Amino acid sequence: MNKKALKGLLKEEELLSDVHDIQKSVRLLEIELDYMESTDPNNYKYIRNLEKQIDELYEKMEGINENN
């Protein structure tokens, strides 16, 4: 296998790892968001902050997928 192909495979593996990490982060934030909405729905600032973080992670993941 030549060096160029190997570098391509390593980059693809790294991107897949990044996507997996982002998905895990999104899942955890969504769990926290559900919990906050059910236990303290009046904490608008924190809930909005969680929603913003989730949106940013989805945008980051879309950017990675578009570059592939």
Query: What does pTM read for this prediction?
Result: 0.82
42-54 tens-digit pLDDT: 999 999 999 999 9
Neighbours of 26 (CB within 10 A): 18
Q: What is the C-alpha separation between 46 and 19, in angstroms, rounded?
A: 25
Average pLDDT over residues 8-25: 91
Terminal-residue alpha carbon distance, the chain = 21
pLDDT over threshold 70, residue 10: yes
26 or 8, higher pLDDT:
26
